[in-house]
Amino acid sequence: MTPSAVAYEISNCEKEPIHTPAAIQPDGLLLVIEPRTFNILQASANTKDWLGIDAEQLLGTYLPDLLGEELNPFLDQILSHPSNYQPNLLPIEFQKSKFVLRGHHNAGGILVEMEPLPKDDQLLTYRLFTQLNNFFHELELTSDPERLLKMAAKMLRKVTGHESVMVYKFDNEWNGQIIIEDRADGQERFKGHHFPASDIPAQARRLYRINRVRRISNANYTPVPLVPATNPLVGDLDMTLTQLRSVSPIHLEYMRNMGTASSLTLSLMPDGHLWGMIVCHGDQPNYVSQPVRTFCKMVTQLVSENLQLALNRQFNHQMTRLGRAIDQFNAPFQATYNLHEGLAGLKELLDPFESDAIFLRLDGIDYQFGREVDAQEMQCLRSSVRHQTHAGMAYAEHLPENYQGQAHWICGYLFLPLAASGDEYMIFLRKERPLEVTWAGKPAKAVREELTPGEFNLSPRESFEKWTEKVRGQSLPWERHHRAAASRLRRAINLRMATEMVRLRQHDAEMAHLATHDALTGLPNRLLVDDRLEQALAKARRERGAGAVLFVDLDGFKPINDRYGHDVGDKILCLLSHRLSSSIRESDTFARLGGDEFLFIITGFSSKSTTLFGAETLACKLLESLKEPFVVNGQTFQVGASIGIAIYPFDADEPNELIKKADQAMYVVKETGRSNYHFYADGSP
């Protein structure tokens, strides 16, 4: 089979419609209900096994007649939620057997899953809550991500009865690695092993984001088809949120090849992103009941939230360490009049950034620190990556394809343009770091020839034996704290360069002040706002505090400016600036961004709730102070303000993003009546 044919088959695999299998697993039954009449549109073919009635006989039946009148409020409640809202649960009794219903709706109707309840459900509930109580107690004693995940894996193994529970973490390219493994036999079969991204293709990852629980009780199950196979309303029925949904035959073969008879997979979603999964594997078939799965989902959500807190603490610790190194460079750098001497301190940042060289181009002059690099090579690298910048930078652990072979020792780079235009930039450089990666079986996709000669299909790999690959041509990865600290260093250099321009032109303190303050009002300008906001964010990280940004846009100012001229408009801006300055504390910042736009930075709060109260209090105070008219040249003028508010670090933890979100919140006020305030977190009205 040719490489292009393999690529074509992999592409087809990634497009497999696994969310519309038209079949379920046999651990329960599925009924699809017409949303207006509550009549049954489709039923899984195994209803006789559970209800004693053939699926064909159920079609058209009014569901409350079948299962009881309590189904009416249950179905109404489902329909009251948005389409594909996370399912509702209802315990019922049918013919002396206890079941739990799980329902949601989409364009194909109301999807109702029906599974048996354990006979000892009261004892089970007691055991689950006991486990949860113990877990909460242990949770209070840990702030380490690894310990948190080990605790969760151990508890979930006990609760589910599976022989093995693993934590699977995704990398930036969606390859996975087993970082935690808890097994009943105490062995570690897969810990440290990597799995290729093709094992969990894009459409499967999408389902993991939406439906965070997937269970397979028996890898040898026979799929139960729906009757009829085609949904009367939409054709292919979307079963994304259906836990009984039948899975891809390729995945079942994958499980069998792995020696796994049953599985339960739970998505880890810190900060709302698919970070990894908790994967429970059984050596024997194992049906995990709906109450236990619900419990496991609750625990995983709790773990996800605490994992985010732990990762944030880890990030803050790393940022504190890097921040100290940057501060040690920045203090003399900002103070000295000799730019070359000030920049020499960059060599002290090589170790904190785990870099082998730093290359800087400023005002047509090249500076380099650490291992020697060729300036022409840096220009070529800049040309290769400057159009790939995201969030103001470009970075990779390997060189661009069109640049490979041009550098002598360089492998990884972190590129930061220092200006939106022009030829000024900074690059952190790293050498190659050869790695040995242990895969769970050779990661390449396997292909096999079908009965018809010349026809091939993808198949899961048959062996999961340890397979080691030597990886060349890449450096250490650029972690989040490296990127955030590099942005902070860039702001320090840009601030100094702004000051340097003033010094070169005027050589006095007044012009230095003008570089960071508004010439008309004397308020801090955007340049100083970025620095102040960065300092406020750094302090909030260190002290686990919070603060707010208030974006103020004047209402009614432009007509005054247009009619009476800029002289009158400027006097109003000065009077307004003086009046509003009295509304803030000495520790806060009040700045003019330009025109009739102003910004407040308020700090020193200990929690989100106190920050919300402080921001709201200030907004009300500002609006109240603007009710008094301004008197200029014997005439009175009235202006108001639309105020948008963003809270850090909850809405964003980067200066530009915070200001942008406060600006978006301000426009909500503009569109809904003006002279008011709005929090970004409250969304659109």
Highest mean pLDDT among 366-375, 384-393, 441-450: 366-375
State the residue for tokens 């389409």: 83
Centre a 10 Å sphere on the Cβ of residue 617 and count the other Cβ atoms it contains.
12
The Cα 627–Cα 527 span in angstroms is 30
Segment 231-245 shows an average pLDDT of 94
pLDDT at 123: 59
Nearest Cα to 267, choosing from 209, 220, 333? 209
Average pLDDT (516-542) is 87
With a cut of 70, say whether residue 451 has pLDDT above it. Answer: no
Q: Is residue 378 scored above 90 in pLDDT?
A: no
Residue predicted with more confidence, 34 or 525: 34
Sign of CA dihedral 186, 187, 189, 193: positive
Mean pLDDT of 506-512: 57
Closest CA to 350 of 485, 547, 179, 257: 485
Q: Which of 553, 588, 596, 651 is flagged as catalytic?
A: 596
Instruction: List, as one string, the DSSP characters of 106-158.
Output: ETTEEEEEEEEPPTTHHHHHHHHHHHHHHHHHHHTT---HHHHHHHHHHHHHH
Distance in angstroms (rounded) separating the CA atoms of residues 527 and 655 = 11
pLDDT at 582: 85
The yes-or-no verdict on residue 263 having pLDDT over 60 is: yes
Proportion of the chain in helix, strand, coil states, percent, rounded to 5: 40, 25, 35
Q: What is the pLDDT of residues 99-144, one digit of tens each?
A: 999 999 999 999 999 999 887 765 566 577 777 767 776 776 677 8
pLDDT of 450 > 50? The answer is: no
Residue 293 gets the label, from left (phi > 0), alpha (psi -120 to 50) or beta, of alpha
For residue 514, pLDDT over 90 is answered with: no
User: How many Å apart are CA 653 and CA 590, to the nearest integer?
Assistant: 19
pLDDT at 26 over 60: yes
Instruction: Summarize pLDDT for 134-182 with one digit per residue, the tens.
Output: 777 677 667 788 888 998 999 899 989 999 999 999 988 899 999 999 9
Beta bridge partners of 216: 263
The mean pLDDT of 462-482, rounded to a whole number, is: 80
Give the percent of the chain with pLDDT over 70.
88
81: left (phi over 0), alpha (psi -120 to 50) or beta: beta
Look up the pTM and report it: 0.64
Q: What rounded mean pLDDT belongs to the chain?
A: 86
Lowest-confidence range among 428-442, 589-603, 630-644?
A: 428-442
Domains of the chain are 10-18+120-226+245-312 (3.30.450.40), 23-116 (3.30.450.20), 336-431+476-502 (3.30.450.270), 526-679 (3.30.70.270)
379-398 pLDDT per residue, tens: 888 888 877 777 688 898 88
Neighbours of 100 (CB within 10 A): 20
Q: Nearest Cα to 286, choosing from 333, 361, 219, 372?
A: 219
What pLDDT, in 10s, does the model give residues 645-654?
999 989 988 8
Identify which has the larger pLDDT, 447 or 179: 179
Confidence of residue 188 (pLDDT cuts 50, 70, 90): confident
Q: How far apart are CA 66 and CA 57, in angstroms?
A: 12
- CA atoms lying within 13 Å on the CB side of residue 435: 14
- pLDDT tens string 595-638: 899 999 999 898 999 999 999 999 999 999 999 999 998 899 99
pLDDT-derived band at 311 (thresholds 50, 70, 90) equals confident
Query: What is residue 102's three-state secondary structure?
Result: strand
Phi, psi of 415 (to 5 degrees): -105, 130
Please report the pLDDT score of residue 406 as a whole number.
62
Average pLDDT over residues 89-94: 88
To which H or E segment does residue 624 belong? Answer: helix 608-625
Asked if 567 is an active-site residue, the reply is no
Can you give the pLDDT at residue 25?
96
Rounded Cα distance, 116 and 84, in Å: 23
Name residues whose C-beta falls within 8 Å of residue 256's C-beta, 6 or more positions apart in sequence. 219, 220
Q: SS3 of 392, please?
A: coil
Looking at per-residue confidence, does 439 or 632 come out higher?
632
Question: Which has more pLDDT, 19 or 669?
Answer: 669
pLDDT at res. 449: 46
Give the mean model confidence (pLDDT) for residues 26-48.
Answer: 96
Residue 148 CA, distance from chain mean position: 20
Give the HSE-up count for residue 274: Cα atoms under 13 Å, Cβ half-sphere.
Answer: 25
